[in-house]
Amino acid sequence: MKKYFAKLGLNSKVEGVSLLSDNDAPTEKAGIAFLQKTQNYPFWVQTFKDRSQRKNYAGIGYKYDEDRDAFIPSKPYASWILNETTCGYEPPVAYPDDGKDYKWNEETTTWDEVV
């Protein structure tokens, strides 16, 4: 089984993700120790592709929030709000459910139909 570890930089921002085997990472603690030794870098946190832990799979630019024990993506727009359950950002207005395509308009905080 493969295990993934996020490399954390300044302000716990994800700089990359490394893949390890069970042999090198039978536990999160062992995986971190392995990476610290082989990569000569101190800050790593395990991330999960299936999102079973830490809310989201870490991506470059995501931030690891230790208090929430979650990886949080960058905020796409100033008006969007963090959903505390999913640790993802959501628009202040729901996406229209009429089958049409829309794009977010930050100036008006509305969805504009893509024509």
CA distance 25 to 5: 10
- Decide if 54 contacts 8 (C-beta within 8 A): no
Instruction: Please choose, from the candidates 42, 53, 39, 71, the residue with its C-alpha nearest in 3D space to the C-alpha of residue 3.
Output: 53
Residues 67 and 82 reside in one and the same domain: no
Half-sphere exposure of 7 (CA within 13 A, CB side): 15
Q: Give me the pLDDT at residue 71, please.
A: 98
pLDDT in tens, the chain (115 residues): 899 999 999 999 999 999 999 999 999 999 999 999 999 999 999 999 999 999 999 999 999 999 999 999 999 999 999 999 999 999 999 999 999 999 999 999 999 999 9
The two three-digit tokens of residue 108, written as one number: 């008006």
CA distance 64 to 57: 10
The predicted model scores a pTM of 0.90
Residues 49 and 61 reside in one and the same domain: yes
85 CB contacts (<8 Å, ≥6 apart)?
none
**Count of domains forming the chain:** 2
- Could you list the residue range(s) of the whole structural domain that residue 113 is in? 75-115
Residues 58 and 93 reside in one and the same domain: no
Q: Give me the pLDDT at residue 29, please.
A: 98
Q: Give me the pLDDT at residue 1, please.
A: 83
Residues 60 and 79 reside in one and the same domain: no
